[in-house]
Copies of this chain bind each other. A is one copy, B any other.
C-alpha cells in the first residue's frame, strides 16, 4: 500500500553521509530564540537562561513501531516528532528543539529519506520547534528513527507525575482509543491486500481514526489553555501506552489511589462503532490501546469551574488515598481494579 514514485531515485551511496546531511538540512530553519547554534558543529548550543531544561527521547523501529506497508513516510516523520514533543508538553513545558537521527538501508532512495525528513520539518514548523541536530547512518536492518526533544519551563510550572493530591480531579484531553482502533483497521486492510493485491484498502469514512493512528497531534494547545485559565496541574503524563498504564504511573509516583468512572471516558463515536465492528470493547481500547498522545492530569477541585466549559477536557475520576488502590467504576456500577495490561514488545 506504500505508494512511492519510483521515477525519481537518487542513490544514497553516490551522496555519502555528508552529502545526505547537507542535502537534507538545506530546508532547516532556526526560529526559536533559545537556539544559538543548530546543525553544523559537534553539538548544538542552546540558551535557557532563566528556565529549566527538559529532555526526552524515543526510539522508533521498523517492524515494532511502524509498518512501512501502510505508514506513509511523511506521516512517519511527522509522527516521530509529535510522539516526542508530547513528552515535553506532559511536563507542562514548551518544546523548543529536537534532534532527529535516521538509520536506513542504502537501498532507500534519497527521495524516500526526504519524505521522512519533510514530515519531521512540517511538525517542527507547526509546533515552533527547531531541528538542531541528529545523526544519519546506513542500516543493514530496516529503518531506525531516534528523536530527542528539548524544551523549557519555569521551575514552579513543571508538572511531574508525582504531584497528584488526594481529592484532585483526574482529567484527560481529547478522546481515547481512536489510534488503537485505527491501527486495527489498517492491519485488517493490509492483510486483505496481502491476500489479494487487487483489492484496494477500504478506509472510506474512517478518516478520523486512521489519522489518529498515522498522524497524531501533541497537545500543546492544552498546555497553553491551562496556562491561560490559570491552572497548573498537580500531576501530568501523556497517554502513550493506554489510559490504564498512565493512571497507574501517576498513582504510583504520587503514592495515591484513584477512582475512574468508565462512563466518563471520552470516546469518539467512530472509535466506538469501529471497535464494536471488530468485536472489541471500546473501553478496553481506551484503557489499553495506547498511542493517543492526549494529556492525563490532575487538578485541585477548586479549579473545576475553570475547566467545566472546555469541550476538550473531560473529568474522568478523582484521586484517593493510596490504600484504596486504582479502581474503575463500570457503567453498571461494579468496581474493578485498574491493571496495566500495557504493551510488551518483547513478547513474541
A residues with CB within 8 A of B:
12-13, 15-18, 20, 36-37, 40-50, 52-59, 61-65, 86-88, 90-91, 93, 97, 99, 101-103, 106, 132-135, 137-142, 144, 146, 148-151, 153, 155, 158, 160-162, 236-238, 253, 340, 342-348
Instruction: State the 3 A-B residue pairs at the shortest beta-carbon distance, nearest first.
Output: A141-B141, A138-B345, A146-B146
Asked if A140 meets B41 with Cβ closer than 8 Å, knowing A17-B346, A344-B13, A346-B17, the reply is no
Interchain residue pairs with CB less than 8 A apart (6): A42-B238, A55-B97, A55-B132, A57-B148, A106-B345, A140-B141
Q: How far is the CB of A65 from chain B (nearest CB, A)?
A: 7
Bound-state CA distance A161–B44 (Å) is: 12
Residues of B within 8 A of A59 (CB): 101-103, 135, 137, 144, 146
* Bound-state Cα–Cα, A91 to B43, Å: 7
Would A139 and B49 count as touching, CB distance under 8 A? no
Number of identical monomers bound together in the oligomeric complex: 2
Whole-angstrom distance between the Cβ of A243 and the nearest chain B Cβ: 15
With A59-B137, A132-B55, A140-B63 given, is the CB distance from A342 to B48 under 8 Å? no
Check if B237 sits within 8 Å of A20, measured CB to CB. Answer: no
Looking at chain A's contact residues, the main secondary structure is mixed
Q: Are A65 and B137 in contact (CB under 8 A)?
A: yes
> Do B344 and A42 touch (CB < 8 A)?
no
**Which among A18, A64, A149, A344 has the greatest number of chain B C-beta atoms within 10 A?**
A344
For residue A149, which residue of chain B has the nearest CB? Answer: B43
CB pair A13 B137 closer than 8 Å:
no
With A91-B41, A347-B106: A36-B61 Cβ-Cβ less than 8 Å: no
A348 near B106 with CB under 8 A, answer yes
Closest chain B residue, CB of each to CB of A102:
B59
What residues of chain B lie closer than 8 Å to A64, measured between beta carbons? 103, 137-140
In the bound complex, residues from chain B placing their C-beta under 8 Å from that of A140 are 61-64, 141-142
A13 & B148 in contact (Cβ 8 Å cutoff): no
Chain B residues with Cβ below 8 Å from A87 are 42-43
